[in-house]
Structure 1
């Protein structure tokens, strides 16, 4: 078990709670969990440790919203995501912790830019031709960011919002997207040494916080209006990105 202070454990428990609630109710908030884990644990190890908690939360998200998935949207994203994952694996194979931290910062600068230009992207996604371009761009960036830093949330949230999904369709499509991507990442993360025995022990302690967050997020989504949902997603994306950059 990692030797951590009480304050560090409290922060990690809060991050685990955020993982749960972001999967079932407030997409975009997961970046805060990425920031906390990267601040407390070694950068590369933090990605593998957080990945296991994300997989637990994925189960709740898929079970909750499995009937609201837009499969054509996922199929359009699949080729680009695979390319992004491969690029992320290659990067992690040669990068050290310092480089991973720098790249997380670069990634989030890109995320902020995407957020600011959301309206422009939204108009592009509405058309058949540019829609494919947006899928390639977001899919590749999403695959890379999720492999390197578990930070695809802000990127893909902007894509799903631009696709004008309802609250439930957004959450259902995102649930299957992250579940499939995270399962694909798992063997690579193990092979790269990102998933460690101390990390697994830490995750076992934090799983209850994930469960509480996931259950609360499900209740919030049932009561949330579309406009409020979209504003929260955008706000959490920006806050999480800025927090990690600082």
Structure 2
């Protein structure tokens, strides 16, 4: 078990709750969890620790939204996502904690930029999907999710462009990330970023994911999402800048 201060444990617990909420109600909250974990733990270790909690959250997301998935929409993404995962795996194999930390910070800023651009683009015109879009978003999503568990906003752009209803969107992305995160598990173990201390730490944090999942289910449809997402974006920018400059 890692020796951490009470403040560090509190930050990790908050990140675990954010994982649960992101899986059942607000996908964007996951960026806050990434920033908290990378700020408290060594950068590479934070990726592995967060992955295990994301897998727990994935099954809650599937349970809540299991009847609304459109699984055929995932088929065009598989080759590009696999290529992105491979690129991310190669990067983690050669990068040290300093570079991984900075890349996670840069990815978080990229993710926020993509999110804001998506909102602006939605006002201007509809984003289209097709083979080129699937290749571009799939590759970038695979890389960002392998390196920093931050593929959510990138893939959100793709799925929103398909004009899914809210529940169909949540159900399809739930199955998508459940499969991707399970595929990342052996790669992460092979890189040594998941070990016994990581498992022990995550066992302590799993109740936070479960609490967050139920909290998200309660919040679904009852929350002023715009205000909440603005707070998350600001906090994530602060966390990303800390990772880049520290």
* Alignment TM-score, normalising by the size of structure 2: 0.89
Residue in structure 1 matched with residue 109 of structure 2 by the alignment: 109
Residue in structure 1 matched with residue 164 of structure 2 by the alignment: 165
In terms of mean alpha carbon deviation, does 18-27 or 233-242 score higher?
Answer: 233-242
Aligned pairs, how many? Answer: 239
Residue in structure 2 matched with residue 202 of structure 1 by the alignment: 201
* CA pair 158-97 structure 1, distance change in 2 beyond 3 A: same
1:243 lines up with 2:238 in the alignment: yes
Residue in structure 2 matched with residue 220 of structure 1 by the alignment: 219
CA distance in 2, matches of 1:32, 1:140: 23
Q: Any idea what the Cα deviations from partners look like across 1:73-129, whole Å, max 9, x if unmatched?
A: 211221111110000011111111111112123323332332233244784644xxx
Unaligned runs of 5+ in 2: 242-246
* CA pair 102-236 structure 1, distance change in 2 beyond 3 A: same
* Alignment TM-score, normalising by the size of structure 1: 0.89
Residue in structure 2 matched with residue 89 of structure 1 by the alignment: 89
Structure 1's consecutive aligned runs of 4 or more residues displaced over 6 angstroms after TM superposition are none
Unaligned runs of 5+ in 1: none
CA distance in 2, matches of 1:45, 1:169: 33
In terms of mean alpha carbon deviation, does 117-126 or 148-157 score higher?
Answer: 117-126
In terms of mean alpha carbon deviation, does 137-146 or 156-165 score higher?
Answer: 156-165
* CA pair 125-76 structure 1, distance change in 2 beyond 3 A: farther
Q: Any idea what the Cα deviations from partners look like across 1:13-41, whole Å, max 9, x if unmatched?
A: 11101100100011110011111111111
Question: Is the CA contact 2:111–2:153 (under 8 Å) kept in the aligned structure 1?
Answer: yes
Question: Is the CA contact 2:12–2:36 (under 8 Å) kept in the aligned structure 1?
Answer: yes
Residue in structure 2 matched with residue 150 of structure 1 by the alignment: 149
Residue in structure 2 matched with residue 63 of structure 1 by the alignment: 63
User: Aligned with 1:29: secondary structure?
Assistant: helix
